[in-house]
Structure 1
Amino acid sequence: MQANNVALVTYRGHCVENVHRAHVAVVDEAGRLLYSFGDPQRMTLARSAAKPAQALAVIETGALERFGFDEADLALMCASHSSEPRHIERAWAMLRKVGADESDLRCGGHPAVSDAVNRAWIKRDFIPTACCSNCSGKHAGMLAAALALGESFSGYNESVHPLQAHVRRVMADVCELPVDAVEWAVDGCNLPTPAFALDKLGLIYARLAQSADAAHKGEPLSARGQALARIYRAMTTYPEMVAGEGRYCTDLMRAFEGNVVGKTGADACYGLGVRASAQTRRLGASGAVGLSVKVEDGNTQMLYRLVCEILERLAIGTAQQRQLLDKYHRPLMLNTVGQETGSARFMFDLHRH
């Protein structure tokens, strides 16, 4: 572990303005640590980066088949969406499939992640409701899962509900941890959110990508492997449902054309899976690779800079694909009249294990 774990420093002119500390873990599909920076075992709240694993728990109740959810619905279950009309409409459609109403959702409305959506809402004097929550897809999926388990909607978001006990078991199992080794808190959307070692988040994403590879090759997969491949396919086929226009996750998955899956979590946490290739083999993996990142001060803009820089240093994808993310990697730091006022410098080195 590097003592100061400073990953980025921002400057205004020649003066240091901010110092951003971070932790990075790069693992293979078996969970073996390939590269790291800072503390790869840092206990980390995954926040919305855990949504694919929560969606796995939903799938394993049989809810998708019972209620006729398609892959775009599944992508929305994994989303921190921008509350664009297509997101809200799909959340409503999912509720109708379940026979639920917006009042059954235990998430609240909030300003949209998208500035464009917020401006449109202000012009209409629109007050966002629960279906407008960036987590409404996850909540709709949880309602369906509760019914599939033979339980009621009531209290589905509470840790004592049988649904959440099921989610805890699946989350621990996919992380290869005892159930009591995963800690839980309450997320911004009012559902439980897990905390575990950072490299375990990378493992989740490595296994998403590994399962996608196996499915593509027609290799035999367990029921869980099939579910993980289904989640990967949903997210990369419908990246616009996972985030939205002008959002990092959507642009990342579009840029890498199905070979990378990624999901942000609030307060600057990120999980990313890379399908097997000559590039992942060069990193020391026999198959897929998972990457997890946490920026300690919660700065999401710095998180995206850092993820882009790691992808470049690991030579993931082509230079042309990585250049499509330049606005996140090296955005100009401008004032209100367009004058460049500062810069950012990467200070970290990845340690190879």
Structure 2
Amino acid sequence: MSRSELQPAAPVAATIYRGESVENTHLAHVVVVDADGRLLYSFGDAARITLARSAAKPAQALAVLETGALEHCGFDEADLALMCASHSSEPRHIERTRAMLAKAQASEADLRCGGHPPLSDAVYVDWIRRGFTPTGVCSNCSGKHAGMLAGARSIGAALAGYELPAHPLQVRVKQTVASVCDLPDDGVQWAIDGCNLPTPAFPLDRLARLFAKLAAAQDRHEAGAAATPPRTAALARIYRAMTSYPELVGGEGRFCTLLMRAFGGALVGKVGADGSYAIGVRASRQTARLGAKGALGIALKIEDGNAAALYAVTAQLLAVLDIGTPEQRATLDGFHAPKRLNTMGVEIGRMDFSIELAAHR
């Protein structure tokens, strides 16, 4: 029997109607865990091997942080936020990348990511109007790459080849990602991301566990817990950087930015290309009501990689789990329930959700 035959089938999470006819269905997997890694709820296959893509950036940033690179190169919390970003290539993102490179005594020529059309439509229109050609600093992953160069500098490794799997820095990254996800080194599969760095694949519940750990670390930091382990302190620092500078993690009008702004530090969220998303929710009455011991981690994967469906389902999950207030969740209405209009402004359809979480408590 093949591996695919052993794995649970992906159920339909969202259906798009044009009139009363089904136009598209979007299959998905969802997992909810607590800070101890206990499986609380699932939809589909909680163990679905998932390329986390940019949702793994906090774990990659952790590896850089643990080299001492931020202190060595004089990076601040905003720089750390950009290391975790899939940014919109706005001027503030590009300028900060350049400043980070200068602090790391590196140049744009050292970057092994390339330019591409921006994630922001407004930025794209501006670039077209100006005839602008994007280069490496304009990559939505440029902050991660600048951080990797700083990490290589910090451990005394060559800058050249920092993106290669066998480079000493990437060896550290691989070990850190596996460790923080509570997996053996060989429990993580690796491929090459769109930005040219190694990208991990692991069970979906481990992505949820990573984000639960981020939120739990911040809970411990704010509680002033004595003798906080260095890794916990580092995870809390990443949490604070992302939630303090959400405009650097995404950009104007982007889902991640709107989400973290609306919740004011109560949760952290990060998108991954081709249909993955993860959220870490700090401990509260709401997380306790859901059966969590401490913080909560949520991860999902849309099987067809559709970004619009991903954001809609993520927003729906917040409503299903009753995370935050209705007012906070309403900030995401443009992603959750956008009007489906044709070119004449006529409403032509809708999206319905069919997410029934199975409880594992």
**TM class by smaller structure:** over 0.9
Alpha-carbon distance, 1:150 to partner:
1.2
Deviation at 1:4, TM superposition (A): 4.8
Name the Cα RMSD after superposition: 0.8
Partner of 2:295: 288
1:160 aligns with 2:169: no
Look up the match of 1:309: 316
SS at structure 2 position matched to 1:137 = helix
Q: CA deviation at 1:211?
A: 0.4
How far does residue 92 in structure 1 lie from its aligned partner after superposition?
Answer: 0.2
> Aligned match of 1:300 in 301, 307, 330?
307
Report if the CA contact (8 A) 1:7-1:348 is conserved.
yes
Checking the alignment, whether the CA contact within 8 Å between 2:87 and 2:251 is kept in structure 1 is: yes
On the 8 A contact 1:57/1:170 being kept in 2, the answer is yes
Unpaired runs of 5+ in structure 1?
none
Q: Which of 143, 149, 174 is 2:180 aligned to? A: 174
TM-superposed CA distance for 1:2, in Å, is 6.2
Contact kept, 8 Å, 1:2 with 1:37, in 2: the verdict is no
* Residue of structure 2 in register with 1:243 after alignment: 250
Match of 1:138 among 102, 126, 144: 144
Name the TM-score, length of structure 1 as normaliser.
0.99
Does the 8 Å contact 2:9/2:45 carry over to 1?
no
Cα distance in 1 between the residues matched to 2:293 and 2:186:
31
Q: Which residue of 2 aligns with 1:340?
A: 347
Q: 1:270 aligns with which of 271, 277, 282?
A: 277
**Any conservation in 2 of the 1:68–1:97 contact (CA below 8 Å)?**
yes
Matched residue, 2:24: 18
TM-score, normalisation: structure 2: 0.97
Q: How far did residue 121 of structure 1 move?
A: 0.5
- Report the CA distance between 1:56 and its aligned residue: 0.3
CA distance in 2, matches of 1:19, 1:324: 25
For 1:1-353, what aligned pairs fall within 5 Å after superposition?
3-220=9-226, 221-353=228-360
Q: CA deviation at 1:30?
A: 1.1
Deviations 1:111-153 (A, max 9, x none): 1100000000011100000000000000000000011111011
Could you say what secondary structure the match of 2:222 adopts?
helix
Counterparts of 1:18 and 1:130, CA distance in 2: 36
Classify the secondary structure of the residue corresponding to 2:252. Answer: coil
Q: Is the 8 A contact 2:30 2:298 kept in 1?
A: yes
> Aligned residues, how many?
353
* CA apart distance, 1:100: 0.5
Once the 2 structures are TM-superposed, how far is the Cα of residue 3 of structure 1 from its aligned partner? 4.3
Tell me if the contact between 1:156 and 1:164 (Cα under 8 Å) persists in the aligned partners. yes
Structure 1 stretch displaced more, 319-328 or 287-296: 319-328
Aligned-residue sequence identity (percent) comes to: 62
Amino acid aligned to 1:119: V
Would the aligned equivalents of 2:33 and 2:212 in 1 still touch at CA under 8 Å?
A: yes
The whole-number CA distance in structure 1 between the counterparts of 2:225 and 2:297 is 20
Report the alpha carbon displacement of residue 338 of structure 1 after superposing the two structures with TM: 1.1
**Aligned equivalents of 2:98 and 2:128: distance in 1?**
22
